[in-house]
Amino acid sequence: MSGGPPKGLPSTGPHSLLDMPHPLAGSSSEEAVGGDSTPSPDLLMARSFGDKDLILPNGGTPAGTSSPASSSSLLNRLQLDDDIDGETRDLFVTVDDPKKHVCTMETYITYRITTKSTRVEFDLPEYSVRRRYQDFDWLRNKLEESQPTHLIPPLPEKFVVKGVVDRFSEEFVETRRKALDKFLKRITDHPVLSFNEHFNVFLTAKDLNAYKRQGMALLSRVGESVKHVTGGYKLRSRPLEFAAIGDYLDTFALKLGTIDRIAQRIIKEEIEYLVELREYGPVYSTWSALEGELAEPLEGVSACIGNCSTALEELTDDMTEDFLPVLREYILYSDSMKSVLKKRDQVQAEYEAKLEAVALRKEDRPKVPADVEKCQDRMECFNADLKADMERWQSNKRQDFRQLLMGMADKNIQYYEKCLMAWESIIPLLQEKPEAK
């Protein structure tokens, strides 16, 4: 990421909504609207955002690269991409060192936020502050208020079911730390959000509560205008490109939600199976004490089942700590994108209503009022920012899920290899030994 002021995002230009081309259509717009040969929203979105190379404003990795043949080559490729991207960055943020604080009224966890930067907006080259979850929540709310046209990364869900998940356990705290670290890195990599005033304060202020009390930051003009859009405007219809985005997000969230529910059931069944294995193995060991020639094979089976139990426990932990959090993050991501899409619809509805009011005037050539032009500017700003963020999100999603699925495949391969080796190890013990002459 280069220094200085944020780069301007691509603009849609002065075209009206009806004149805007539909990026999901092929050579003819009719193919995208009707006909039996119309692809599904998933396929349309894949063509629009998946098959073309994206030149991201933050210098990200171009999309559409071919998939490597092996897991190691893919992981190396992803690591190489990160290293290349790191050479152009001027802002680095990490979340680590969680600490538990026990007070009279509450108990909570804080995390150390370390920031290193060469940007002129920072007075020092390095900062280290401590923040709790509600501070991250404050930051996200402020970003939504001040940057309403942009997609704000989601936070991990705050509430957990008491008695089911211990929010102060090492496993839970570490999972949340990773999610909070990813949240800040998403913002850091964004060419606009990373320059936000509230983000700067979050990273540098020693006493964030004092800043909150002072209320220094006001809503931006765009944010204030969107915030005060009344509910009296009704959108006639979304432009085709944004309607396709909405359809894709609905389908995407539905698919991920289904995968998440099934994955949780699989993990639950694996945990139950693990309990059975831990009771199953020792039975062979106690049985071996009663036998003579069978003692050694029975001990071997007991050890084999123990090794399989250990391998299954590792696989279950990997699914819980690595696979499920990514699914949930992207489910929340789709909700965030829908929220921005809804705000865009509100601005378009306001613009259409004001434009219709001008058209109903009895003047021969009614002059377009300044507030209508400003509303059109806001709408075009929403269109440009939303499309740019959607492309960036799609690029990140491709990389994240390639890495996630490759990791899942690798973990399953390791699990079955360990089980195979365990069972193969007892074959010599079970074979008939030739009698001594």
What is the phi/psi pair of residue 47, to 5°?
-70, -40
Query: Do both 273 and 420 map to the same domain?
Result: yes
Residue 19's pLDDT is 44
Instruction: Note whether residue 218 is domain-resident.
Output: no
Q: How far is CA 1 from the centre of its chain?
A: 20
Q: Looking up tokens 């089980």, which residue turns up? A: 419
Query: Do both 152 and 257 map to the same domain?
Result: no
Query: Residue 220: which pLDDT band, with cuts at 50, 70 and 90?
Result: very low
Query: Do both 327 and 379 map to the same domain?
Result: yes
Summarize pLDDT for 96-144 with one digit per residue, the tens: 999 999 888 888 999 999 999 999 999 999 999 999 999 999 999 999 9
- According to DSSP, residue 118 is labeled -
Query: Do both 255 and 369 map to the same domain?
Result: yes
Instruction: Note whether residue 2 is domain-resident.
Output: no
Q: Are 261 and 267 in contact (CB under 8 A)?
A: no
Q: Are 327 and 263 in contact (CB under 8 A)?
A: yes
Instruction: Note whether residue 63 is domain-resident.
Output: no
Query: Do both 417 and 303 map to the same domain?
Result: yes
Query: Residue 433: which pLDDT band, with cuts at 50, 70 and 90?
Result: low
Query: Do both 299 and 204 map to the same domain?
Result: no
Residue 326 maps to which CATH number?
A: 1.20.1270.60
Q: Which range (54-68, 190-204, 255-269, 312-326) has the least confidence?
A: 54-68
Summarize pLDDT for 286-322 with one digit per residue, the tens: 999 898 888 999 999 999 999 999 999 999 999 998 8
The percent of the chain in helix, strand and coil, each rounded to the nearest 5, is 60, 5, 35
Residue 371's pLDDT is 81
Summarize pLDDT for 139-193 with one digit per residue, the tens: 999 999 999 999 999 998 875 544 446 778 888 899 899 999 999 999 999 999 9
Query: Do both 197 and 315 map to the same domain?
Result: no
Sign of the dihedral defined by the CA atoms of residues 95, 97, 103, 106, in that order: positive
CA-wise closest residue to 241 among 161, 348, 84: 348
The arithmetic mean of pLDDT across residues 42-59, rounded, is 40
Instruction: Note whether residue 59 is domain-resident.
Output: no
Instruction: Note whether residue 423 is domain-resident.
Output: yes
Instruction: Note whether residue 274 is domain-resident.
Output: yes
| Domain interval for residue 123 | 89-211
Query: Do both 282 and 417 map to the same domain?
Result: yes
Instruction: Note whether residue 417 is domain-resident.
Output: yes
Query: Do both 390 and 288 map to the same domain?
Result: yes
Instruction: Note whether residue 241 is domain-resident.
Output: yes
Query: Do both 195 and 341 map to the same domain?
Result: no
Question: Given 195, 211, 227, which residue is the final one in a domain?
Answer: 211
Residues of the chain with pLDDT > 90, as a percent, come to 51
Give the chain's end-to-end CA distance (angstroms, integer).
79
The count of domains in the chain is: 2
Residue 137 maps to which CATH number?
A: 3.30.1520.10
